[in-house]
A = this chain, B = another copy of it.
Amino acid sequence: MRNLFMKVTYDGTHYFGFQTQPEGNTVQDMLEQAIAHLTGETVKITASGRTDAGVHAYGQPFNFETASQIPLERWCLALNARLPEDIVVTEAYEVPLSFHSRRAAKRKTYRYTINGNRFPDPFQLRYQFHHPVALDVPAMEEGLKKLIGTYDYTSFASRKSTKTSHVRTIFSAHMEIDRSMCRPDSSDQGVIHTYITGSGFLQHMVRIIMGTLIQVGEGKRKPEDITGILAACNRAAAGPTAMAKGLALWNVSYEDPGEQAGVTGSKKL
């Protein structure tokens, strides 16, 4: 058997999230069907984590075992030919049988995108939360920085979370404003990207963080309120869950380059 590790990019608009659901129509289903079509095997893939319905991914890692002898360099094109066009496999590696995409993941980065311009961008409708009302972005970023560290993030987790511990680490977080689409002499405030990198994230965690930071940006809360919200360990203390469509799993990284046992050194596409 071989253990194949791949990365997939997808537009999550038309799927019920990444992970298989009773209703079907998930990214995982599409990938498993494409693999079955290609190899004749029924495989179960393991991803770095799930994404909610409507959430996108630029680089979602997954792995699976196969007896197929198809050469590594053929997999991406062969799978893409059997996938819908909004799901694209971009990288393929062979890794040790012990490698597990979720357990080995060290850092995950999510990006949340707010279009702060006066009008929606018809080319980005499915990937941005449109918020034309003025946002105090420096205040939002000040609040965001207070989330960096190792904390119990219960206030920022869905009440449906079944995890026994809500302690996670946020390593870094920052905001970037892209003003390239701002019209001159307008009230356009740019496209505001928020990047958050952590050890792992609870259900809805990035979206609840964003819903709370948007309230900071609107002046409804102060940046220093974030500290108290964290301490409350109560979902009711935080703001609403921001819309799924603005969220994308941006990147997942594994071991540091020097000590990387699982992925580096493997055969690469």
Using CB atoms and an 8 Å cutoff, list the residues of chain A in contact with chain B: 9-11, 56, 76, 80, 85-91, 118-123, 125, 127, 183, 185, 268
Within 8 Å CB of A119, what residues of B? 9, 76, 80, 88-90
Q: Are B85 and A122 in contact (CB under 8 A)?
A: yes
A56 and B122 CA atoms in complex are apart in Å by 10
Q: Are A123 and B80 in contact (CB under 8 A)?
A: no
Within 8 Å CB of A125, what residues of B? 85-86
Within 8 Å CB of A89, what residues of B? 119
Within 8 Å CB of A91, what residues of B? 183
A122 and B90 CA atoms in complex are apart in Å by 11
Q: Are B185 and A123 in contact (CB under 8 A)?
A: no
Q: Are A88 and B11 in contact (CB under 8 A)?
A: no
A121 and B76 CA atoms in complex are apart in Å by 14
Checking B87, B120, B122 against A122 with a beta-carbon cut-off of 8 angstroms, the contacting residue is: B87
A118 and B90 CA atoms in complex are apart in Å by 8
A183 and B251 CA atoms in complex are apart in Å by 12
Q: Are B11 and A123 in contact (CB under 8 A)?
A: yes
Checking B9, B122, B127 against A9 with a beta-carbon cut-off of 8 angstroms, the contacting residue is: B122
Q: Are A11 and B122 in contact (CB under 8 A)?
A: yes
A122 and B30 CA atoms in complex are apart in Å by 15
Quick one: closest B residue to A7, CB to CB? B183
A183 to chain B, nearest CB (A): 6
Q: Are A183 and B90 in contact (CB under 8 A)?
A: yes
List the 10 closest pairs (A to B, CB-CB), nearest first: A11-B122, A86-B122, A90-B119, A88-B119, A88-B122, A9-B122, A11-B123, A88-B120, A85-B125, A10-B122
Q: Are B86 and A56 in contact (CB under 8 A)?
A: no
